[in-house]
Each structure stands twice: as C-alpha cells, then as structure tokens.
Amino acid sequence: MKRKKPLVIGNWKMNLTCSEAVKFAQLLRKQMITTNKIVCGISPSFIFLKDICTILADSAIFVGAQNIHSERAGAYTGEVSAFMVKEAGCSHVIIGHSERRHIFGETDAFINTKVKTALSANLKPILCIGEKLHERAGGKTTLVIENQLKNGLRGIGAEHIQDSVIAYEPVWAIGTGKTASPEQVNEVHTYIRGLLIDIYGKDIARDTYILYGGSVKPENTRDLMAQEEVDGLLVGGASINLESFLKILDSASNFS
C-alpha cells in the first residue's frame, strides 16, 4: 500500500496550440474517473494558462506553470513571474527541469532563488533533479543528486518543504525513449528520501512527494509505481496524448 495518493503531473513542454489545449483539458476533466484515488495536474504553456485554469477550476485537476523567473517583477523581456502565474490560477510550478538547466544554463543558485520566489507567491515548487549519462557511468549519480537537492533547497525551512515536490529525472532518460529501470529509480529515490530525512527529519521526509520522470508511458507506469519510494510521476511526451495520459492515471491509481 502506498502511503498517500499517487501524484501524476503532465508537463506539456512546448506542445499543443491553445485550441488543442482547451479541448484536451475539457476532455480530461470529463473523462478522468480516478479523482478519489489520485492527485493530478497538468503544466501547459504560459500563453494559455488562464484558459486552462478556467476550464479546470473547481475540479480535481490542478494547473502548474512550466517555469518562472527568480524576480518578482522587472525589466526581463519575455519572462514570466511567479505572481503572474499565481494570479492566472496556478497552484504549482516546475523548477530546475533538466531542459532549463542544460539548454538554458540555469545554475543551482538561480534555481534555489526560483524556489524561494515560488514559495513567496504561494506556489508549490516541483524541483527537478537528475544526472547526465556520463555522470551515471562515472558513478557520480549520488553526488549530483545531493548537490542539486541541497543547493536547490538551501534556506528552505521545514515549514515549506511539505508544500514542495521533488522530481527525479535522469537526463539520459528524458525524451530519449530510455527509461531507468524500476530498481534504479527506487535506489535513487531512496537516496533522496534519506537526504530529506537528514535535513528535515523522518516525518516531513515521508510526507514529501518524490516523483519519477523520464520517458514515462502507459507500458511502464505499473512497474515504476510499484516501487516503494516512488510517490508519483512527472510525465512528458505521453501527457500530450489524452488516451495515453488517461491510461497512466488509471494505472497509477491502483497504488493509492
């Protein structure tokens, strides 16, 4: 038995037009039948966050942003603040995704500031951490995970950590079709849980969601969710196809 309801979040990345996203959200709200067994959220593009938040208002499905800037406001052309997405109706925000780290050069220090800004806006941060293929091959997985987790949560008190979500996403498994084995995932999640216990204590650590992300699809959901330390999933490509996302939700709901 899982200790709490599984948490599944769809990260749409730079996909779907507004009309496609609206239709998806309408159908998801109508067809999702596992609301009493699962916690579900989706993270659309900025440009139609308000539309999706309106459709899903008062439903069991929350909406999260894919990113925020570290500053509350300012001369940052093209950026979006935590307070903007909060006003749009979001409850969560993805921070430190590997694509932000490795394509856009975001550092641990910058990501840490974003986490603090999110919390100041009453947004729940979804902090992503994970190693590259050469780091895993070199036996540096735990070192990378520890540095990213501790640096990302630096200065975050125990009163806020339970409002946060940790997502383990091995970089080599994102968008590649490769998935870490369930045993590999559980091993890293166990290590993350241990770090949280060291920092915040056992009770808080046990209540903190640790998700897995990286080529999640209906076919591997059950095996991933069967792992003791996997509390849920951060789904990429499979979350922009309604049929596959519903199958993932249905499979994950069996571990409530």
**Angle at alpha carbon of residue 114, lines to 112 and 116, rounded to 5°:** 75
Residue 16: helix, strand or coil by DSSP?
coil
Active site residue 97: yes
Closest CA to 93 of 150, 46, 36, 48: 46
């640790």: which residue's tokens?
Answer: 210
Residue 212: helix, strand or coil by DSSP?
strand
**Rounded to 10 degrees, what is the CA torsion of 221, 226, 229, 235?**
10
Instruction: Say which residues have a Cβ less than 8 Å from residue 13's Cβ, sequence separation at least 6.
Output: 66, 99, 236, 240
Q: Which of 106, 160, 169, 189 is catalytic?
A: 169
Written as six digits, the tokens of 83 are 């307070």
Active site residue 99: no
Q: Which of 97, 99, 131, 160 is catalytic?
A: 97
Would you say 2 and 37 are in contact if contact means Cβ atoms under 8 Å apart?
no
Would you say 156 and 195 are in contact if contact means Cβ atoms under 8 Å apart?
no
Return the active site residues.
97, 169
